[in-house]
Amino acid sequence: MKHHDKTLVLILAGGVGSRLNNLVQTRAKPAVPFGGLYRIIDFSLSNVMNAGLTQVGVLTQYKPLSLMHHIGTGEPWDFTGRSRGVKILPPRTGSLDSDWYKGTADAVRQNIDFIRAHPAKEVLILSGDHIYRMDFADMIESHRRKKADVTIGMMVVPKSEIHQFGAGITNDEGRIIEWEEKPEVPRTNLASMGIYVFETDYLLRLLTEDRNEIDFGMHLVPKAIERDNVFAYPFHGYWRDVGTIQAYWQANMDLLRPDTDISPEAWGIRPNVYSGAIYDRIPARFVAGCKVKGSMVSAGCTIKGEVSNSVLAPGVRIGAGAVVRDSILFHDCVVSDKAEINLAVLDKRVFVGSGARVGYGNDKTTPNRKYPKHLYTGINLVGKEAVIPAGIEIGRNCIIQPWCSGDDFPVDNRVATGETV
């Protein structure tokens, strides 16, 4: 695939992802674990690897440490060698929030020297926080065939959802003739996936013309459409922005469906197995009398109780008589004997005491009082290394902050629906 060596890849991985609440308190959104073994950014990195592209820059800003540690030298995705490389690009500027990237185009503009240092015919710009599989080699091929200045990855979404996206109206050749950013009244069902192929010289020209144009969707794309050749690259297949707790939970659950459209193994998605969490684990152990159905159980887990419709990362321990349903448990969580976990996301190393109930009662519609827009469908969120005392009852749409323990909980051992500890 020699000819693809001439495309440089930039992955935008700086998003705060604030709607993921305490899952992103200690890490950037692209570094959030997914599907037991993976992190969200593994999908973008693996798609790049599978297209034979070898020069990658990852633009970070918010809490980049776990992301940098995860990407490391890029070895899991074949980005090591003389003509290959993945480079982490933190923001160049001061520590004030106002010095941070002001938008997608501003982020790329601040890294123009990286683009110039890696001469390439095109620049492929992606987001690091989507779950999908896409053939970038084919997209670049199509871009060259049409002699486009810009090609935008676009997919058909229901008109009711288009207000969340940039939307493009195309002519018969697939050229985009009109653009609407987050339209209230949509005239098209073609949504931008935030995936762009730019001719390098063209991109550099656009970025240096007007420094106040900080965003691709709002500023640069509409301008390019007015003046130059911008084409849509239609995408068909599974794609999900996992930017909300609900979407994140749903995408994990999609892995478990028998008729699922999402299959990381078949897609050739690679995790970083060298990061210790996976590599040194013994196989999962299913103790006599346990019940497991419709779940993903990673290496190093020990199951004595019952697990259904759940995703367990490496090292999770489920005690005797414990029940875990419709939940996502990150690395090394411990659910003690007779505890119940129902519709919850537990961050790494959460300890649930014996007989505790997380996800109790039938009221799933009373939203979280502090963050009503984050939790409103009954899901509970338990932060990293929280210790949930034995015998406690936690309602629905509750948030337990990272590192909470005994004294932080109410004395009557009940956390009402919608409360935060």
Which domain CATH number covers 298?
2.160.10.10
Q: What is the pLDDT of residue 42?
A: 93
Secondary element (H or E) of residue 16: none
233 and 284 both lie in a single domain: no
State how far the alpha carbon of 46 is from the alpha carbons of 69, 79, 218, in Å: 17, 10, 28
Q: Does one domain contain both 241 and 92?
A: yes
- Same domain for 227 and 79: yes
Domain co-membership, 157 together with 213: yes
For residues 309 and 166, state if they share a domain: no
The range of the structural domain enclosing residue 207 comes to: 2-254
Asked whether residue 159 is domain-assigned, the answer is yes
> Does residue 247 lie within any of the structural domains?
yes
Contact (CB, 8 A) for 157 and 165:
yes
Q: How confident is the model at residue 375 (pLDDT cuts 50, 70, 90)?
A: very high
- Is the pLDDT score of 278 beyond 90? no
Per-residue pLDDT, averaged over 178-203, amounts to: 89
Question: Which CATH number covers residue 107?
Answer: 3.90.550.10
Task: Pick the last residue of a domain from 254, 272, 304.
Answer: 254
Same domain, 240 and 284: no
Domain total of the chain: 2
The pLDDT assigned to 1 comes to 42
Q: 93, 29, 89: which is closest to 57 by C-alpha? A: 89
Confidence at 138, pLDDT banded by 50, 70, 90: very high
Q: Is residue 236 part of a domain?
A: yes
* Highest mean predicted confidence (pLDDT) among 2-16, 52-66, 281-295: 281-295
Note whether 242 and 385 are same-domain residues: no
Could you report the per-residue pLDDT of 239-275, keeping only the tens digit for each? 888 888 999 999 999 999 988 888 898 899 988 876 6
Q: What confidence score (pLDDT) does residue 303 get?
A: 98
Instruction: Give the tokens for residue 314.
Output: 């490496």
- Out of 162-171, 361-370, 384-393, pick the least confident: 162-171
> Same domain for 208 and 286?
no
Q: What's the whole-number mean pLDDT along residues 15-32?
A: 81
**Looking at the predicted structure, is the pLDDT value of residue 27 above 80?**
yes
Residue 322: C-alpha distances to residues 290, 300, 343 (Å) = 10, 18, 14
Distance CA 249, CA 253 (A): 6
Greater confidence (89 vs 397) lies with 397
Q: Which of 1-10, 47-56, 341-350 has the lowest mean pLDDT?
A: 1-10
Q: Taking residues 328-341, what's their average pLDDT?
A: 97
Parallel, antiparallel or unpaired: strands 296-297 and 150-156: unpaired
pLDDT > 70? residue 8: yes
**pLDDT tens profile 46-81:** 999 999 998 999 988 777 778 888 888 888 888 887
Which of 202, 236, 254 finishes a domain?
254
Query: Which of the listed residues 238, 254, 270 is the one where a domain comes to its end?
Result: 254
Q: Is residue 84 part of a domain?
A: yes
Within a domain: 83: yes
CA torsion, ordered 353, 357, 359, 361, to nearest 10 deg: -160
Mean pLDDT of the chain: 89
- Pairwise CA distance, residues 317 & 341, whole Å: 13
Residue 306 phi, psi (nearest 5): -120, 130
Residue 274, in any domain of the structure: no
Does a structural domain hold residue 356? yes
pLDDT on residue 277: 53
Q: What is the mean pLDDT of residues 22-32?
A: 85
Domain match, 194 and 318 both: no
Diameter over CA atoms, the chain = 68
The percentage of the chain sitting over the pLDDT mark of 90, rounded to a whole number, equals 56
What is the predicted pLDDT for the residue at 335? 98
Alpha-helical regions (H) of 10-158: 41-50, 65-71, 104-109, 112-117, 136-145
CA angle at residue 352 from 350 to 353, to 5 degrees? 145
Same domain, 320 and 396: yes
pLDDT-based confidence at residue 317 (cuts at 50, 70, 90): very high
Cα end-to-end distance, the chain, whole Å: 53
The verdict on 242 and 291 lying in the same domain is no
Measured distance CA(169)–CA(176) in Å, rounded: 6
Is 22 contained in some domain? yes
Dihedral sign of CA atoms 374, 380, 381, 386 in order: positive
Residues 285 and 250 in one domain: no
